[in-house]
Structure 1
């Protein structure tokens, strides 16, 4: 392992000095290792490992584009693995974590559970009326009338940030009031 890292470091130093053959050897040497890292990362995340090649290409492209940022006095492998980890994380975030479960497997369990009690429309309206006017107006426009935050801000002559704060506070207050009931 240490020999390989030393070799990569030497090849990268030579590549930065203009040795194209060293750069090609470096890329050929790191590709299988990066591929294995991508496959392992995808498998750990419950994703299909057949997507690893896309991530490998992103990693190799990032190495190529960012090679000037590597410190020639530092070992190459930690720099490479940091890029690989970040590219894998980016790819997983783009894909999202999707788990599909057949609902038929839980039909009996779902049928047995009692329905959760939800507050009536009248209870919500009563509690909404007791909120401060700004919060009430924001909640009315956004939650009831489906107005966007931008349009709500314009209608109420508020900044969008103030609308978001009022919305959050109003929802928190409304939730707390309804739970007390």
Structure 2
């Protein structure tokens, strides 16, 4: 399939999705993810930045595409519109990152406190106390994913939600936790 054929397929799925065809819209987002992932990873490599944040940038781009889908004009090519959104999300991520240096962590485990360290347990209790303040679905999601290490997929299935909604709730919950921590260290 050529790049033009692929973009025509994306445009067809977007048109169908805008018309209410959820399956076509899901196919569009599923097809966009790997394409965006590759572009983001290549761009991060060009900037000399490790691609650890690539998936977050891809998810931000997919969310922005979803939220701004009504701005795409059918008479315009969809590829440049998608690339512009992804580029803005990449630039945003690079700006947030700033000039932060990367430090290798190999061998750092020898210096970190173990599970039996009282300070570690105190920090864990404080974190759990803050998570308890979230309550509701957001609290369950943060506890499952961030504290217990459950995957997004498993958390979504256990709560009867889709993965995107779980990611959004997790992001908002972590943001709320950050605010709570600043108010009550």
Shift of 1:42: 1.1
1:38 corresponds, among 30, 37, 40, to 40
Query: Which of the residues 55, 58, 73 maps onto 2:57?
Result: 55
TM-score between the two structures when normalised by the length of structure 2: 0.52
Distance 1:100 1:20, change over 3 A: closer
Q: Which runs of 4+ in 1 moved over 6 A?
A: none
Q: Which runs of 5+ in 2 are unaligned?
A: 104-185
What is the CA–CA distance in structure 2 between the aligned matches of 1:15 and 1:51, rounded to whole Å?
29
Q: Which residue of structure 2 aligns with residue 96 of structure 1?
A: 98
Correspondence for 2:26 among 10, 20, 24? 24
Q: What root-mean-square deviation, in Å, do the aligned CA atoms of Structure 1 and Structure 2 show? A: 1.5
C-alpha distance after superposition, 1:127-157 (max 9, x if no partner): xxxxxxxxxxxxxxxxxxxxxxxxxxxxxxx
Which structure has more RCO (C-alpha within 8 Å, separation ≥ 6)? 1
2:83 is aligned to: 81
Q: Give, in angstroms, the shift of residue 2 of structure 1.
A: 0.8
Helix, strand or coil at the partner of 1:47? coil
- Give, in whole Å, the separation in 2 of the partners of 1:100 and 1:53: 18
Q: Say if 2:35 is the partner of 1:3.
A: no
Partner of 1:124: none
Deviation at 1:98, TM superposition (A): 3.6
| CA gap 1:79/1:100 in 2 versus in 1, 3 angstroms | closer
TM-score, normalized by length of structure 1?
A: 0.53
